[in-house]
Amino acid sequence: MSKKLLSGPYLVWMAGFTVIPLLLIVYYGLTDRTGAFTLANVVSIATAEHSKALWLSLGLSFVSTLICLALAYPLAMILRKRGVGRGSFVVFIFILPMWMNFLLRTLAWQTLLERNGVINGILTALHLPPQTLINTSGAIILGMVYNFLPFMVLPIYNVLCKIDDNTINAAQDLGANFWQTLTRVWFPLSVPGIISGITMVFVPALTTFVISNLLGGSKILLIGNVIEQEFTRGSNWHLGSGLSLVLMVFILASMALIAKYDKNGEGTAF
């Protein structure tokens, strides 16, 4: 009985700083400045400006999630095969960049992508025409993939490490070729990691305002930028909260996905 009391501070903390704050967003999102109930803040997502930002965010985060998955899965398979130092080393390699500030790392891509930056310098040296790389949707996707790739690699890697070698060998002994093993054995067994990775990339990519700010110039507005501006510049907190409620629909959907496909928490990143 006394053991359960140990959760007291935690429960109070979570109630005060997680549950109540989220309820406040719901309250602000569904009221106007006078405190009267209104749906106007949520419905404003349908205005041309806001829906354009939402669709762009959805598109860019969808593409970056796909790219992350395509890059991470073979990577996780190779890392598993090599058995690099049993886990901790792999985590180490992917967590280490976080010790260099996230904003600086993203800013460094400006240096690499700029009109007279490093990549264009290499292109010119090879007598190729320089490209416009910075301030495009492509640059934002690159920034998303760069920042969130570790969150796709780690859960998939962790799930793949739990697959027994004998299962793979059995499939091959029974005559399955590479593709059959991949689609009938590897994929089904790694679903928890894939789903966990997808949500851990998609949610931050969908809601970012920093990456679009730093790599997209000020012309490309994502839904995260719109919300951030309502809170810091426009100071219409009700509108900002209403738009956040729309985002929370997507966040809740990913939580539901996790609950459905990753019941035992196998696909955690850490």
Partner 1 sequence: MNSIKNRIKYFVENFYLVLIMVFLYAPIATLMVLSFSGSKSRTQWGGFTLRWYLEMFESATIMNALQNTLVIAFASALIAAVIGTAAAIAINSMKPIPRTIIMGITNIPMLNADIVTGISLMLAFIAFGISLGFKTILIAHITFNIPYVILSVSPKLKQTNKSVYEAAMDLGAAPVYAFFKVVFPDILPGVLSGFLLAFTMSLDDFIITHFTKGAGINTLSTLIYSEVRRGIKPSMYALSTLIFVVVLALLIITNFAPHRSKEQ
Residues 29-88 interacting with partner 1 (rule: CB under 8 A):
71, 74-75, 78-79, 81, 88
Q: Does 109 bind partner 1 (CB under 8 A)?
A: yes
> In this structure, how many other beta carbons lie within 10 angstroms of the beta carbon of residue 228?
19
Separation between Cα atoms, residue 195 and residue 237, nearest integer Å = 33
CB of 24 to partner 1, least distance (A): 4
Closest CA to 224 of 201, 240, 202: 240
Report 166-205 residues binding partner 1 (CB under 8 A): 199-200, 203-204
Separation between Cα atoms, residue 245 and residue 250, nearest integer Å = 9
Q: Does 126 bind partner 1 (CB under 8 A)?
A: no
Among positions 33, 99, 126, 219, the unique one binding partner 1 when judged by CB under 8 A: 99
CA distances from 43 to 28, 49, 51, 220 (A): 14, 13, 10, 22
Among positions 73, 146, 148, 157, the unique one binding partner 1 when judged by CB under 8 A: 146
Q: Does 253 bind partner 1 (CB under 8 A)?
A: no
CB of 140 to partner 1, least distance (A): 15
CA 177 to chain CA mean position, Å: 33
Q: Does 6 bind partner 1 (CB under 8 A)?
A: yes
- Token couple for 207: 């809601």
CB of 156 to partner 1, least distance (A): 13
Report 207-236 residues binding partner 1 (CB under 8 A): 207-210, 213-214, 224, 227-228, 231
Closest CA to 187 of 150, 148, 164, 159: 159
Separation between Cα atoms, residue 23 and residue 20, nearest integer Å = 5
Q: Does 3 bind partner 1 (CB under 8 A)?
A: yes
- For the chain, the distance separating the N- and C-terminal CA atoms, rounded to the nearest angstrom, is 30
Among positions 2, 34, 166, 177, the unique one binding partner 1 when judged by CB under 8 A: 2
Among positions 105, 137, 229, 236, the unique one binding partner 1 when judged by CB under 8 A: 105
Q: Does 122 bind partner 1 (CB under 8 A)?
A: no
Separation between Cα atoms, residue 151 and residue 46, nearest integer Å = 32
Residue 188 or 218: the one with the smaller Cβ distance to partner 1 is 218
